[in-house]
Chain A
Amino acid sequence: MSWFIRSKTPKEKLKVRRINIPEGLWLKCDSCREIIYRSELDRNLKVCPKCNYHHRMNAFERIDLLIDDGTFSDIDSNISSEDPLRFRDVKRYKERLRTYTKKTGLRDAVVCGKGTLNGIKVQMCVMDFGFMGGSMGSVVGEKVTRAIERAVSKRDPLIAVSCSGGARMQEGILSLMQMAKTSSALSELYEAKVPYISVLTDPVTGGVTASFAMLGDIIIAEPGTLIGFAGPRVIEQTIKQKLPEGFQRSEFLLEHGMLDMIIHRKDLKKTISNILNLLI
């Protein structure tokens, strides 16, 4: 693979592998399949200059985008999974964890911490799809819950940027319980009347959507983000019909009243700071 991803796999399959943007001067946009300069894409906050597709950001790129330079402190980064079920499929869970830690430099699929956003003190949770598809197990649940609790006690607004395929199967029922744990913690934040802004980035499905991601006081999505409870393939298999164009994309959800707004990545920071300034 010299210049760009050369592949005959259908669009759906390619998207799953979107994280593997090859090192090189050029790459092919996963959405419009046009060839674009890597440097141009990076300058453009990873948004395709041809079709406006918002390519995935990792957690620290997202933090750089939203948090004022030099103000972020990473909290609870030492929490890691214990493999409570000693889960193994074709691979051991422990092995998978090691592989993804090596690949991403993270211990799990979320980075939490505090910083300022245009001068406003905030608590942040940013999910990283590169770590096991941003799946939520005990570590993600615990870190998000602690961030919520910090937001309550410090009265700092909470911003959660979701990017997740859902609950982490390898932790079984304990992953499912993280949905209850995070949602229950949010009820305290509601009572404290501290703002919670949920930002949805491509994709957000399953257990993360069905817990803290859809519980924001204000819910913002990036353009074209896949948002749903069930994934499109599962739905297609169940109902045995083709899904309508644009189904489960942010524009579709906005039209159905599930989101407050769709914001281009370049405007995300100033939109959030504007909302927070109006609320607090």
Chain B
Amino acid sequence: MAGQYLDFEEPIIELEKKIAELKDISKNNGIDFSREIRRLHKKANRLKKHLLSKLTRWQRTQLARHPARPYAMDYINLMCKDFVELHGDRHFGDCHSIIGGIARLEEWSVFIIGHQKGRELKEKMYRNFGMPQPEGYRKALRLMQLAEKFGKPIITLLDTPGAYPGIGAEERGQAEAIARNLLEMSNLSVPIIAVIIGEGGSGGALALGVGDRVLMLENSVYSVISPEGCAAILWEDCKKVEEAAESLCLTADDLFKLSVIDEIVKEPLGGAHKNIEATASILRRVLRRHLKELLSISSKSLVFQRKRKFRRMGVFSE
């Protein structure tokens, strides 16, 4: 994962290299560089804060897709204990772009389901680049219905470029699978917390996103269409991705202002990939707080409130 960085991260990477060099020298030669190192650390932190506060929406999108960014399985491993992965939709197959199972999170057992991307080429292909087939959505629904049956809360981790556009996916009803999840999720009698951890790509993300709480990591994005797709259609020019990203208003800040999400989850300085453990522990604490709140609500009012939450979405005049 080291060595993978984005253009705008370059000054940070330079400083981090310098710090590592100084540490090496002082270790090998016994020269005390601790003051210099402290100074550079401070500088690097200031720089991270500065660079990340003024990212454009397109840069934020790139950060959300950062190759070193933690994926669903990383969070599950770091936040949960005793994870038991469950497979298959019981109709056709097992989609590797969506994973799910039962695990212990703090004092509760929960069903945790998420989109899964791959790191190396082989794993990327195995995970189909995080683009689920209908079987993935149907597996997710099956697990969510199991959660309901056993009265366990559901946590979903959203991170996908979108549902897979392929022949088989269409043959087996990609649209129906997504639609069914939207309807059924709105009706489940157990708490649902949806977290956008990376890329919230359109209907393929939303199909796991109908939650009592919808949270976004600070550097994640959530959009009706990718900036690339939007540029190709509306600008008829694939190079207009920056303009498209700006227009789409797809960052956590944007979505919070539009009342589409409930909370922005802070990431460590420089982004989630700079400290995966810290990110997972921040998220675990946030989930704990929301779970506590939601578990104190009766299932009837839970469903009522969830429906009302989505009922209110949209801006129009009359």
A212 touches B179 (CB 8 A): yes
**Distance from A212 Cβ to chain B, minimum over Cβ atoms (Å):** 7
B183 touches A187 (CB 8 A): yes
B179 touches A210 (CB 8 A): yes
Number of interface residues of B (CB under 8 A): 56
Q: Which residues in A have their C-beta under 8 angstroms from that of B202?
A: 167, 176, 207
Give A176-205 interface residues, CB cut-off 8 Å to B: 176-181, 183-188, 190
In the complex, number of A-B residue pairs with CB atoms less than 8 Å apart: 200
Interface segment out of the listed A23-31, A55-63, A240-248? A240-248
B165 touches A177 (CB 8 A): no
In the assembly, what is the distance between CA of A204 and CA of B258, in Å? 28
In the assembly, what is the distance between CA of A214 and CA of B170, in Å? 13
Residue with the greatest number of chain B CB neighbours at <10 A, chosen from A169, A172, A188, A252: A172
Contact of A209 among B169, B175, B249, B306 (CB under 8 A): B175
**Distance from A128 Cβ to chain B, minimum over Cβ atoms (Å):** 17
Known pairs A173-B255, A256-B173; A184 contacts B250 (CB<8 A): no
A85 touches B249 (CB 8 A): yes
B108: Cβ under 8 A from any A Cβ: no
Contact of B182 among A211, A228, A229, A230 (CB under 8 A): A211
Interface segment out of the listed A32-40, A76-84, A151-159, A264-272? A76-84
Interface segment out of the listed B33-41, B80-88, B230-238, B283-291? B230-238
Contact of B169 among A84, A85, A179, A229 (CB under 8 A): A229
Contact of B233 among A76, A80, A169, A209 (CB under 8 A): A169
Q: Which residues in A have their C-beta under 8 angstroms from that of B166?
A: 230, 235, 238-239
Residue with the greatest number of chain A CB neighbours at <10 A, chosen from B250, B306, B313: B313
Known pairs A172-B223, A176-B202; A215 contacts B179 (CB<8 A): yes
Q: Mark A32-75, 1 if CB is under 8 A from B, else 0.
A: 00000000000000000000000000000000000000000000
In the assembly, what is the distance between CA of A244 and CA of B163, in Å? 21
B contact set with A: CB distance below 8 Å: 163-167, 169-176, 178-180, 182-184, 186-187, 202-203, 206-207, 209-210, 222-225, 229-230, 233-235, 243-244, 247-250, 254-255, 258, 260, 306-307, 310-311, 313-318
Extra 12 A-B pairs, beta carbons < 8 Å, given A80-B317, A179-B203: A141-B313, A167-B202, A169-B233, A171-B224, A172-B248, A183-B182, A184-B306, A187-B186, A211-B179, A230-B174, A235-B166, A247-B167
